Homo-oligomer: A and B are copies of this chain.
Amino acid sequence: MNARKAANELQYRTLLHNDLEATKALLLSSCHVIPVPVRGPVEALINGGGKRLRPAFLLLVARLFAADEERALLAAAAVEMLHTATLIHDDIIDNAAVRRGIMTVNARWPATAAVLAGDIVFAQAAKLIAQTREPVIVERFAVALEVICLGELGQMFGSAGTIPTLQAYLDRIFAKTASLFALCAEIGPLLAQYPDEVVAEARRFGRLLGEAFQITDDVLDLRGDSNETGKPVGVDLRQGLATLPVLLYRAGYPDDHRIEAILTRSADEHTIESFIQDLRCSAAVDQAMGYADARAEEALSLLRKHPDTPHRCALEELVHFAVDRAY
């Protein structure tokens, strides 16, 4: 794969510069209705903005299908707004004080204000997506929200402290990440009235990219250099969450019961560190990256069906970035 790039070096940043500025303007103007005290942290969350991967991805795919640009922009803002709303509610659930380096809504105000702030941001997302005037897209949008929340609720009531099956793991990362990428990818062909099989293939492309991203994220949590990622190693494990490398490791070492002790939080720090060390040295981490790479390869093969344009090229780069990044 390509030489490793930082997110801010990716082509889409230049190619979509005006579109992403327009998306940001739509997002910020949607926030104007929110009362001032709560608006601050919501605007800061939007301005902090991360990599704007979802709207950029949606816009790039929409260009492949020559979808109407104005409606694609509305959808891109809607998806980012939906993502923002889920972050606000997530931060209540995780009792998080900081996100993207800024104080969360629930850290500044009572959690109840954060519930309402999230709801208002949902309403803004729904208003934006309704403005695409495409009922099928609105329905898919609502389904994506459903899948994301069901995934979180399932995790909350799921069998914590146990190792999931591969299917349960894939379902979880679909709900958490890939469902929204799948939505982003299908909006372009839906706007341009392509037939169902084309929409389904675009959706599959989005899902593959989302899965590749999330599997890589889960690997980075174990393999990452904490100096580069800015995060401690093994956060998921320490929170009782077994990801793909762990379940692949278990297949090779069925009798290593440190895993259960760690997942049920009954292991001491020494056990955790020695297990993470063994896991990092095992084949499981590379095997897990194999799952991510396979998805990236399939995504690239789907892309090759499209003409070789700068937008396709930026999407190829995004697929490479999904599996070959430092954070």
Contact = CB atoms under 8 A, between A and B. Distances in A.
Contacts of A225: none
Chain A interface category by residue count: 35 or more
A156 B126 contact: no
A149 B89 contact: no
A143 B123 contact: yes
A7 interface: no
Contact of A116 (B33, B122, B152): B152
A154 B123 contact: no
A166 to B, nearest CB: 21
Contacts of A15: none
Interface in A114-158: 115-120, 122-124, 126-127, 129-135, 138-139, 141-143, 145-146, 149-150, 152-154, 156-157
A92 interface: yes
B123 A149 contact: yes
Contacts of A133: 135
A218 to B, nearest CB: 22
Nearest to A119: B149
A37 interface: yes
A101 interface: no
Contacts of A123: 142-143, 145-146, 149
Contacts of A38: 153, 157
A35 interface: yes
Contacts of A93: 112, 115-116
7 contacts: A34-B153, A92-B112, A93-B115, A119-B122, A126-B141, A127-B143, A131-B139
Interface of A: 33-35, 37-38, 86, 89, 92-93, 110-113, 115-120, 122-124, 126-127, 129-135, 138-139, 141-143, 145-146, 149-150, 152-154, 156-157
